[in-house]
Amino acid sequence: MLETGAIRDWFRYFFLAVLAWVIVDFTTTAAILDPRGYYSRYMPTLLIFCVAYPLVFCALRYRFKLSATGMFLAMIAGIVVVEIVCTHNILLFTLPICLVAIPISLAHYGMVTFMPLWIAEGTVGRNRTWAAGTLAVWAVGVLLNILTQFGGLHRVK
């Protein structure tokens, strides 16, 4: 059974992780260009994913007491399952782009896995270097997505 503080952290982590997934998904996919088209195409699968991934990590952290290292390894397994097995993201296994896509993927998944955890448990200060790094990589990903979706990287002058 979970203690009162753990239950509070569990709910906080779950809520923040779902919110993080929605924000990251919206800002790093075609949803930023055409939200209605994107969400009508991928719902309810996307909703299930945005809820199921945080639920799994809540259970791993608060029920099975996984350490940060265990959570990181589980996150890597999650990347493999979601990005390679389920969505067949060719960027992660096509050279040379995978040399950029893998670290970006690690940072994005790290942000949606660990940032909500650090906020929920009040440990952002102790992890500020990692937090800043994942936020910086996410911001670059958002910028590249905006340029790509709105044609900035495709224009020839």
Among 131, 117, 130, 124, CA closest to 59:
117
Taking only the tens place, the pLDDT of each residue in 131-147 is: 999 899 889 888 888 88
**Dihedral (C-alpha) 33, 35, 41, 46: value to the nearest 10 degrees?**
110
Phi, psi of 95 (to 5 degrees): -75, 145
Is the pLDDT at 97 greater than 90? The verdict is no
Is the pLDDT at 152 greater than 70? The verdict is no
pLDDT at 109: 92
Tokens of 33: 């260009």
Contact 147, 153 (CB under 8 A): yes
Among 50, 17, 12, CA closest to 31:
50
Taking only the tens place, the pLDDT of each residue in 1-29 is: 557 667 888 899 999 999 999 998 888 88
Taking only the tens place, the pLDDT of each residue in 78-96 is: 999 888 888 888 888 888 8
pTM for this predicted structure: 0.84
Assess whether the previous peptide bond of 44 is cis (omega < 30° from 0).
yes
